[in-house]
């Protein structure tokens, strides 16, 4: 099988292009003949049930795996933020941020990155002294100090409490507006996808079953016009709510159980 993972140089547009992508690990295809383009400086969310192939696709974009077949074209400068901060406990915060970074005055670069995530005062802290939100902000700083053209976020806020998660949403949007990378966030949270992104993809059994543009004005709130309609469409695509063609009685019964079902995605 032919496979191609191609990193585009700095002089090229930082567009992600995926063509005829198939991935498997000796069994059924996890990703099945996917075609996808991500535009420069766009913010895209990837939704799907567990096992739909979301993290597999992100790992391919990060260069952590090779595709079985097809073509994946990504910028050379890319970074990943995972659900766990993955900080080395024996290195101070600033050394975690600059690990593997070959630049002049690395500590100063770390200071600048930490100031952007409002943690300049924690530069010499040990990772084990950080709160969950602080550790994830350090992980963001570590990604941004590399000035990526493509920023991959793999459920980075799933382990945070609700209030911290909302603050992280605001921070990520501010950093995106400032640095203008292409962002792809993998999430199970429909509201998170609608709050952050200008495009939502739904992955179903290894295929993109829905590609939905989000044109709501920012800052976004669940109470604003159009939000609930988009939420319902995404939940229907995920199988949590019935499609618009479903019987009204069935729709009412399923809608009453939506919160429980969402928690199980």
pLDDT score of 20 = 94
pLDDT level of residue 263 (50, 70, 90 thresholds):
low
pLDDT score of 239 = 87
Percent with pLDDT over 70 in the chain: 86
Chain mean pLDDT for the chain: 88
pTM score, whole prediction: 0.86
Domain ranges for the chain, please list them. 41-62+78-220, 222-265
pLDDT score of 5 = 55
Q: 14 pLDDT exceeds 70? A: no
> For the segment 204-248, what is each residue's pLDDT rounded down to a tens digit?
999 999 999 999 999 999 999 999 999 999 999 998 877 665 545
What is 41-62+78-220's CATH topology?
Rossmann fold (3.40.50)
- State in Å, rounded, how far the first CA of the chain is from the last one: 33
> Is the distance from CB of 196 to CB of 185 less than 8 angstroms?
yes
Q: 122 pLDDT exceeds 90? A: yes
> For the segment 185-209, what is each residue's pLDDT rounded down to a tens digit?
999 999 999 999 999 999 999 999 9
Rounded average pLDDT over 79-108: 93
> For the segment 67-77, what is each residue's pLDDT rounded down to a tens digit?
989 999 999 99
Q: 1 pLDDT exceeds 70? A: no
> Is the distance from CB of 33 to CB of 70 less than 8 angstroms?
yes
Listing DSSP states for 23-68 in one string gives E-SSSS-SEEEEEEEE-TT-EEEEE--TTSSHHHHHHHHHTSS--S
**3-8, strands of its sheet edge to edge:** 3-8, 69-75, 16-23, 31-38
> Is the distance from CB of 203 to CB of 45 less than 8 angstroms?
no
């Amino acid at each position: 099988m032919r496979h191609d993972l191609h990193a585009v140089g700095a002089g090229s547009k930082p567009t992600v292009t995926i063509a005829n992508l198939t991935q498997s690990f000796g069994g059924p295809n996890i990703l099945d003949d996917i075609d996808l383009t991500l535009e420069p400086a766009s913010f895209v969310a990837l939704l799907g049930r567990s096992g739909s192939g979301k993290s597999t696709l992100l790992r391919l974009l990060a260069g952590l795996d090779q595709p079985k077949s097809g073509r994946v074209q990504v910028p050379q400068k890319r970074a990943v933020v995972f659900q766990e901060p993955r900080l080395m406990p024996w290195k101070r915060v600033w050394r975690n941020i600059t690990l593997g970074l070959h630049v002049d005055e690395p500590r100063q670069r770390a200071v600048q990155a930490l100031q952007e995530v409002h943690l300049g005062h924690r530069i010499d802290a040990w990772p084990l002294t950080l709160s969950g939100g602080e550790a994830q902000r350090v992980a963001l700083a570590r990604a941004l100090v590399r000035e990526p053209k493509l920023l991959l976020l793999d459920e980075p806020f799933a382990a945070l409490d609700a209030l911290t998660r909302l603050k992280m949403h605001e921070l990520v949007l501010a950093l995106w507006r400032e640095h203008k990378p292409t962002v792809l966030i993998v999430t199970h949270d429909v509201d998170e996808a609608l709050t952050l992104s200008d495009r939502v993809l739904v992955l179903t059994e290894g295929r993109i079953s829905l590609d939905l543009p989000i044109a709501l004005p920012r800052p976004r709130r669940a109470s604003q016009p159009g939000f609930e309609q988009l939420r319902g469409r995404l939940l229907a695509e995920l199988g949590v709510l019935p499609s618009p063609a479903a019987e009204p009685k069935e729709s009412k019964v399923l809608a009453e159980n939506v919160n429980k079902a969402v928690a199980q995605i």
